[in-house]
Structure 1
Amino acid sequence: MMKNNRTRLFIGAGRMSEAILSGLITSGAEPASIVVSNRRDKEKRHALEERYGIRSTEDAVMAAKQADTIVLCSPPDQVSDVLAKLSPVLRRQLVISVAAGIDVTYMKKRLPDKTPAAWIMPNTGAMIASSISPYTLSEDMGDDERAEVERIVNSIGDGYRTTEEQVHALTAITGSAPAFFYLYYEAMVKCASEAGVSNEDAAFLVRNMMQGSLAMLSEGYDAEALIDQVASPGGSTREGLNVLEDHDLLGLIKQAVKAANDHARANARS
C-alpha cells in the first residue's frame, strides 16, 4: 500500500522549497508532516512555519533520520557537503534534488547503496503551480517512491519524465528560459513606454499580447505558419523580423541555452 502521508524534509528555505511545500499542502499533504531545515535564515524558517503550519529545525541530520522524503533545495555548490552530513544516517529514504546539475548519478556516488534518488528541474512557474518539470529516477526506485516523486511534480504543475541526459539538455529550455522570456517581456514594455504609454498600460498591453500568442500555440497552431500570417511580404512586421534575423537571434538563443546548460553540468562534475 502506498504511503500518502510521508514525512518530508526540505533542506533549504528558499523560493523553490516554499513553492513545493505549498503545492503539496494545497494537494492535501498534512502541514505537520513537512519539516524545513535552514541554519542560515531563522527568520525565513519561522515565517514558513507561521504561513503554512509546518515545522522547522536547524538540525537537518536529526530530521533526516525521521523523514521518508528528503528534498535538496540548497544551492548546487552546497549539496556535496549536505549529502556528506546526511549519508551516514540514511536508511533508504527517498532523496530528491531540485538543484541545477545535481543529477541522480551525482547523488548516488555520495549516498548509501540502494538509496532511491530523483532529479527534478522545476522553474519559477512552480510558485503558482504552473511549472513544467523534467525529471528522472534512479533504477532502484520502488512504486511508493515513484508515486511520491509524481505527487511532488504534479503539485507544482506538470511533469515530463525522461532520461538524466535529457534533463541536463532541458535545464536551460525549461528552467532558465523563463528568465529569457521575462527579459523579452521587459524589453517590449520599455519600447511601449518610450512610445508614450504609461508603464502600467505598457505592461498590460505586452502581457496580453504574449498571452494571446501563447493561446494560439496552445490551440495547436504552427509557429512558422503564425509568423507568416503576421509578417506579410514587404510589411512592417517583416522589416522587424529582418532586423532580428540579421543579428542572428536564433544563434544568440542557442548560445544562451548552451551557456546555461554548460554551467549547470559543471555542478555535477565538481
Structure 2
Amino acid sequence: MTAIAGAVAILLLCLLKTAFCMAALRWAATLLVDDGSKGHLVPPFVVPSLCIAAMMLVFLLALKTTFKSILPGYGNILLAVGVLLVECACLAAGMILDRHYGNPATPWIGKMLALAGLGFFVKAALNRSSRVDIGLCAPRSNSWWPTLVVFAVLLMMDLGATHFIPIHQELSLNKVLFMALVSGSDEEVVFRGLMPSLLSTQDKSPEKTRKANALLAFSIPTMAFALMHAWRFHGEHFVFSWGTFAYIAVGACGFMYVRLRTGSLLSSLVLHNLTNLATAIALSAK
C-alpha cells in the first residue's frame, strides 16, 4: 500500500509539473511572433514537442524513482529525452531556413542536421548498448515478408486517408528523392532505434520486470511519435487531432513491429520512407 500511495503522489506531482511546463511553453510561444506575415517564428510542432519531452522526462523519472529496476539508469533516461529534443531542434532549424530561404535544397538541410546531431547520440548509445540493440545490423534471414505485409497494409491506409485530404501537392524529382531517401530516416533512428535501446534494461531482471521494461521501451517512443504528429500549436492555442493520432499510431506500431521482427533499423527505415513516398504520389494525383 505504501508503494501504491507513493506512486499516486508522484503521478499527481507529474501532472502538476507537466501542466506548469505546458503553461510556460505556451506563454513563451505567444511571444515568438514575427511581423504577422509569416506567423510564428517557430514551426507549430515545436512547442508541443517540448511539452511531450517534458512529460516523458517527468513520467520516466517518476517510474524510475518508484520502481527502480523497471528502467535503466538516469543517464539513459536523459539521453532518450535529449534525442527527442535534438531531433526537434534540428528539424525546426531546417523548416525556418526553408520558410525564409526556400529552395529545393532547404528541405534536406533539416534532415541532414538531424541525422548529424543524432550521430553523437548513436556514439553515446553504443557505450551503453550494442549495435544489435539499436538495430544497426542486417535484417534477419527470411524476415522480408513481414515488411511486405506491413507495407501493403500501410499503403492501403495511405490511399484511403489521402482520399479525404483536400490537398494537391506537386511532385518533382527532388521531392521523390527526398521522400524515398531521407523523409523518415531521422525519425526511425530516434523512435525505433535510439529511444527503445536507451530505455531497455540490459541486466538480468526477473521476467515480470523485463516484460514491463519491454512494454515501456517500445510503447513510449511509439506514443511520442504519434503525439508529435497530432499535436500542434496554432494561433496561440494547442490543437490536437484524434484522427491524425490514431492514423499515425497505427503506422508507428507497424514500423515498430517490422523493426522488432527483422531485428534491423534498415527495414523500418526503408518502409517508412516508401510509405511517405506513396503518400506524396497519392497527393500529387488528386
Short-chain TM bin: under 0.3
Judging by fraction of residues, say which structure has more strand. Answer: 1
The TM-score normalised by the length of structure 1 is 0.27
Judging by fraction of residues, say which structure has more helix. Answer: 2
Compare relative contact order (CA 8 Å, sep 6+) and give the higher one, 1 or 2: 2
The TM-score normalised by the length of structure 2 is 0.26
